[in-house]
Amino acid sequence: MAKHKTSKAAIVEHEHELQAVQLRKAHLGYQQIGDRLGMTASGAYRCVSRALARMKAETGEVAEQVRQLESDRLDVIGTVLWNKVLDGKVEFIDRYLKVQERRARLLGLDSKNQTETTQDEKQFLMDLAARTGKPVEQVAAEYAEFKERDK
């Protein structure tokens, strides 16, 4: 029968894990930890390992929640900027691309290859030209002019 997480045995086990981690942080060996907690060295090792695994899982869950929150924020910002771009405000192209680059890095979608980024930018300008009805050359020129002014 599995222990309930609020049972006395589960609470004692959890306390042992916390104590074992504290002792390990104080540079005690597993035998010394075991001696202090009334268990074998392998028991002390298992206590530390369980506690560290739990901490890692909890930290991973929090990191994923923060990553999702940041992704959601970037999506909102990207949508606002994209609408400005579609309204013909080319000065927002660079900002939109920066938000998308940040989003790609956050989600691990980034390519390390600079040539691909340039290709993506060219595709973006072509898509923008098609959506705004302007010639690609005009959109590219306006964007290049904006980037030059922005330096």
Does 128 fall in a domain? yes
Are both 94 and 129 inside the same structural domain? yes
More confident residue, 3 or 20: 20
Residue span of the structural domain in which 125 resides: 63-150
Are both 20 and 88 inside the same structural domain? no
Are both 70 and 130 inside the same structural domain? yes
Are both 20 and 38 inside the same structural domain? yes
Q: Which two tokens stand for residue 74?
A: 């970037």
Domain stop point among 61, 80, 98: 61
Render pLDDT for 87-143 as a digit per residue (tens, 0 to 9).
989 889 999 999 998 988 888 886 555 445 477 788 888 888 888 888 888 888 888
Render pLDDT for 5-57 as a digit per residue (tens, 0 to 9).
678 888 888 888 889 989 998 999 999 999 999 999 999 999 888 888 888 88
Are both 79 and 136 inside the same structural domain? yes
Give whole-number Cα distances, 58 to 6, 19, 55, in Å. 19, 18, 5
pLDDT at 61 > cutoff 60: yes
Give exposure, 95-110, as e/b (b: 16+ Cβ within 10 Å).
bbbebbebbeeeeeee
